[in-house]
Amino acid sequence: MDNHQLQRMTEEISITLFHKPFQHAIYFNARLKTTGGRYLLQSHNIEINERYYKEYGVNEIVGIIKHELCHYHLHLEGRGYQHKDRDFKELMKQVGAPRFCTPLKSYRKQSKSPQKLYLYECSNCAQKYRRKKRVNIDKYVCGKCKGRLKLVKSSIGLT
C-alpha cells in the first residue's frame, strides 16, 4: 500500500462512517516508533506508522484511521477531540474505532532486550533509586529526605 491508496481509503472511510469528507493529507511516517498514528492539530494531516501495515495488515490500519479520524472531525467541529473527552469516547464507540492499537511485535522484542540500568542510593537515608538513564547527582536529591545521591551500580540487566 502506498500513500495514494492510503489517502483514497481514508476518504472512503470518512464518507461512509462519519458522513463527512476528509479534506487533508494522510501519509505513512517511518519515524513513528511507538504509536500507530497521529493527528496533527496545526496542519490537520494524519500520519500513520508504516510498520503496523507491514506487521498486521490492512485491518489494523483501518482501525488506526478510524481513531485518527475521530480526532480530526471533532477538532474541526470545535468539539472535545482529546482521549479524555466524552465526545471523543462516544464517537469512537459509534464508528467502532479502537482505543489503542495492537503493540508492535518488533517493538516488544526491542524492549525486552537487556538495558543498562543505574542504581542510586541516598547517602542520608539509604533510599535506593533505579533508573534507565543517568541522573545528574549534582542537580537531583533524594525525594524522601533531600539527601545527596550517589551512584552505587551501573550494569546491564540489573535486577
Q: What is the CATH number of the domain that holds 21?
A: 3.30.2010.10
| pLDDT at site 158 | 47
Distances (CA, A) of 15 to 23, 29, 45, 66, 94: 11, 24, 17, 11, 14
C-alpha cell at 13: 472511510
Q: What percent of the chain has pLDDT over 90?
A: 76
| pLDDT at site 153 | 85
The 3-state DSSP class for residue 109 equals helix
Whether residues 80 and 130 share a domain: the answer is no
Domain of residue 77: give its range. 3-110
Overall average pLDDT of the 3-30 stretch? 96
- Answer yes or no: are the C-beta atoms of 64 and 37 closer than 8 Å: yes
Counting other chains too, the contacts that 130-138 makes at CB distance below 8 Å and 24 or more residues apart are 130/158
Residue 68 annotated to the active site? yes
For residue 59, pLDDT over 60 is answered with yes
| pLDDT at site 95 | 95
Whether residues 19 and 44 share a domain: the answer is yes
C-alpha cell at 27: 501519509
- Answer yes or no: are the C-beta atoms of 30 and 52 closer than 8 Å: no
| pLDDT at site 159 | 44
**Inter-helix orientation angle 86-95/58-77, to 10°:** 140
- Answer yes or no: are the C-beta atoms of 58 and 5 closer than 8 Å: no
H helix intervals, the chain: 3-13, 50-56, 58-77, 86-95, 105-112
Largest alpha-carbon pair distance within the chain? Answer: 64
Whether residues 68 and 142 share a domain: the answer is no
Whether residues 102 and 132 share a domain: the answer is no
pLDDT class for 148, splitting at 50, 70, 90? very high
Number of domains in the chain: 2
| pLDDT at site 105 | 78
Between residues 126 and 106, which one has the greater pLDDT? 126
Whether residues 127 and 149 share a domain: the answer is yes
Using CA atoms, how far apart are residues 65 and 70, in angstroms rounded to an integer? 9
Indicate the pTM of the whole model.
0.68
Q: pLDDT for 25-55, tens place per residue? A: 999 999 988 899 999 999 999 999 999 999 9
pLDDT class for 113, splitting at 50, 70, 90? low
The residue from 12, 47, 60, 68 that is catalytic is: 68
C-alpha cell at 151: 551512584
Q: pLDDT for 64-100, tens place per residue? A: 999 999 999 999 999 999 999 999 999 999 999 999 8
Whether residues 147 and 71 share a domain: the answer is no
Whether residues 103 and 147 share a domain: the answer is no
Whether residues 105 and 122 share a domain: the answer is no
Whether residues 87 and 125 share a domain: the answer is no
